[in-house]
Amino acid sequence: MNEDLIGDSYELAYNLACAHMDAGRYREAEQLLRTSEGICRRVLAADECEPEEIADEVAIIQAQRSCALLQLGSTDMAVKLCLAVIKTKPRDGVVGAVAANNLAVLRKDRDLFDSQ
């Protein structure tokens, strides 16, 4: 991962992570998504964005990270991220739907409607 290339662009880190996922490089993708989330929180806080806006942006990253974690077999962490996304009630309904779908896959048939 080239930190100089990413700089303060959480969007670039996110896009690179998606490219890694497409290529089946889930470990690299998960690392980039963690980096993306950290940059996102820092940059948006510095820009004095509203907490809801920061939560919405972070939710997108966390939903994608849950997919990478699922592929890596880190089920517990993937479930935690999905639940965190669902609890934030993102304004973009697609993000919540992705997290709910990921949660359904992770839980299979058990605790499907328990979002706590």
Give the tens place of pLDDT for each residue, 66-79.
999 999 999 999 99
Task: Say what the pTM is.
Answer: 0.86
Is 15 a member of any domain?
yes
Is 52 a member of any domain?
yes
| 19-58 pLDDT per residue, tens | 999 999 999 999 999 999 999 999 999 999 999 999 999 9
Is 58 a member of any domain?
yes
Whether residue 61 is predicted with pLDDT greater than 70 in this model: the reply is yes
Parent domain of 62: 3-107
Is 113 a member of any domain?
no
Instruction: Give me Rg for the CA atoms of the chain.
Output: 14
* CATH number of 7's domain: 1.25.40.10
Query: What is the number of structural domains in the chain?
Result: 1
Whether residue 109 is predicted with pLDDT greater than 70 in this model: the reply is no
Is 100 a member of any domain?
yes
Is 112 a member of any domain?
no
Considering only the C-alpha atoms of the chain, give the largest distance between any 2 of them, rounded to a whole number of Å.
Answer: 44
